[in-house]
Amino acid sequence: MVCGALAMSLTGCGGSGHSRAKGGGNGGASGTAAAPHGTAPARVPGIGDRLWRQVPAATRQVVAVYGAGPDSPDATVRLFTRQGSGWRQERSWPAHNGRNGWTADHHEGDQRTPVGVFTLSDAGGVLADPGARLPYTRSASFQAPHSWNKNSWHDFDYVIAIDYNRVRGTSPEDPTRPEGQHKGGSIWLHMDHGSGTSACVSQSEDAMRYLLRTLDPRLHPVVVMGDTRDLAA
């Protein structure tokens, strides 16, 4: 099961008894802001050598997803920006990942989010472009089916494609899977419904708006994601 690919299978990150999150967690509409003082660290905190070596040298924006544990659906998303030789945290939001946790070998239907470093190049959703800097495709076909739990109907109002097993420069809905269907795909950042997903990373509507308006292709944004143990390895 995947989070997108609605045209292919109408499967996604649906299902929970919780309300869809609209706020930005502890930080309100724009999330928890960075502290104004202190020296920015030389790398994004909590990321070990193995994954940090995979971050392109040109990258100036990192979305870091810190999973609470290898089998946990709970996570924290933090946005970092390169400033000089250091990395400054811009915002932080509560989030969810795959309902079964994380994996270094994602397969279709495992309901685990892949650990790794992935570029962020395309966005879209049901709603009008909120001022995204990434290419944005608006389409009613993003709409989650109403056979899903009502709390998940707005999951794909805004999405940012994570470039896992997909073709960059296409709509997030594009079904092409370069590594094969068995490796899954349509793994997105999208809006939260209050619990774990099928493999995507979800956060509040306000968080998604902020990311869409902030992530800039000229700064070569990436997502670095995994449970905290894998991230630090």
Helix/strand/coil for 126? coil
Give the H or E element holding residue 230: helix 228-232
For residue 164, which of 230, 203, 197, 120 has the smallest C-alpha distance? 120
Residue type at position 76: T
In 84-131, where do the E strands start and end? 86-96, 102-103, 113-114, 116-125
Convert the pLDDT of each residue in 179-203 to its tens digit.
999 999 999 999 999 999 999 999 9
Convert the pLDDT of each residue in 119-170 to its tens digit.
999 999 999 999 999 999 999 999 988 888 888 888 999 999 999 999 999 9
Q: What are phi and psi of 124, to 5 degrees?
A: 175, -165
User: Rounded distance, CA 105 to CA 99, Å?
Assistant: 16
Contacts of 209 (CB under 8 A, 6+ apart): 130, 158
Convert the pLDDT of each residue in 34-58 to its tens digit.
545 568 899 999 999 999 999 999 9
Q: When comparing pLDDT for 11 and 90, which is higher?
A: 90
pLDDT value of position 31: 67
Q: What is the mean pLDDT of residues 59-81?
A: 98
Please, which pLDDT band fits residue 33 given cuts at 50, 70 and 90? low
Give the mean pLDDT of the chain: 88
